[in-house]
Amino acid sequence: MTLRLILTRHAKSSWDDPLQEDHDRVLNERGRTAAPAIGAWLQKQGYLPDEVLCSTAARTRETLDRLGLPQAETEYVQRLYHASSDTMMDVLKRATGRTVMMIGHNPGIADFATRLLSNTPAHPQFTRYPTCATLVAEFPENEWRAVRFHTARAIDFIVPRDLTD
C-alpha cells in the first residue's frame, strides 16, 4: 500500500499594505485566480485529500478555501508557518489520512519537495516552487511515521501558469 502527499505552496499574496504583519497577508488577484485553477486540476486528476495540514497564515488558509476541494479533515498547524523541511517532515509524520495535503511557504516547501523525492520532476519550475505550485508524490509506506526523505516518487507537478498557457 502507498501513501499520497499533495504538497502545495500558498497562492500569490498581496503586499499592498506595507504595515501588515506577514502572517496576516491575504491573496492578491492573481492568487485568487490561481488557487481555484489548481483546485479544479486536482479534482479532475482525482487527487483529493482526506486530511489537510495547513499553515496558520492568512494566505495559506485562503489558498485552501479557494482551492474548492471537497471537505477533508483539516488541521491548521502553527509550526508550518515558514517551516523548515525538517519541521515539515515532523508534522507530516503525525498525519493519519491516506492522502494528505500540506499547504506551506517557501523556502521550506521547495527544500522539502526536493528532499522527499527519489526522482525529481523534469518541470523547469520545480526547484523554484513558485506560488501555488503543487506536487503529488507517493511513498511506499503504510504509515506516515515510517516515511523518510528521498523515498517518495513524484506522480505529478504543476504550477498555475501550466493551466493558462
**Which of the four pLDDT bands, split at 50, 70 and 90, describes residue 151?**
very high
Return the closest-CA partner of residue 127 out of 106, 148, 147: 106
C-alpha 74/C-alpha 56 separation (Å) is 11
Q: Residue 71 is inside which H or E element, if any? A: none
Angle at 111 (CA atoms; ends 47, 95), nearest 5 degrees: 45
The 10s digit of each residue's pLDDT in 35-46 is 999 999 999 999
Task: Provide the pLDDT for residue 16.
Answer: 79
Task: Provide the pLDDT for residue 149.
Answer: 98
Q: Residue 45 is inside which H or E element, if any? A: helix 29-45
Domain that holds residue 114: 3-163
C-alpha 3/C-alpha 148 separation (Å) is 12
**Which of the four pLDDT bands, split at 50, 70 and 90, describes residue 97?**
very high
**What DSSP line would sit under 75-91, residue for residue?**
EEEGGGTT--HHHHHHH
Task: Provide the pLDDT for residue 24.
Answer: 87
- Contact between 55 and 65 under an 8 Å Cβ cutoff? The reply is no
Q: Residue 102 is inside which H or E element, if any? A: strand 99-104
Q: Residue 19 is inside which H or E element, if any? A: none
In the predicted structure, residue 25 carries a pLDDT above the cut 90: no
Flag whether the pTM goes above 0.85. Answer: yes
Peptide bond into 107 cis (omega under 30): yes
Task: Provide the pLDDT for residue 165.
Answer: 59
> What domain count does the chain have?
1
Q: Which residue has the cell 501588515?
A: 20
C-alpha 73/C-alpha 58 separation (Å) is 19
The 10s digit of each residue's pLDDT in 98-149 is 999 999 999 999 999 999 999 999 999 999 999 999 999 999 999 999 999 9
Return the higher-pLDDT residue of 124 and 17: 124
- Contact between 125 and 28 under an 8 Å Cβ cutoff? The reply is no
Supply the CATH number for residue 54's domain: 3.40.50.1240
The 10s digit of each residue's pLDDT in 43-89 is 999 999 999 999 999 999 999 999 999 999 999 999 999 999 999 99
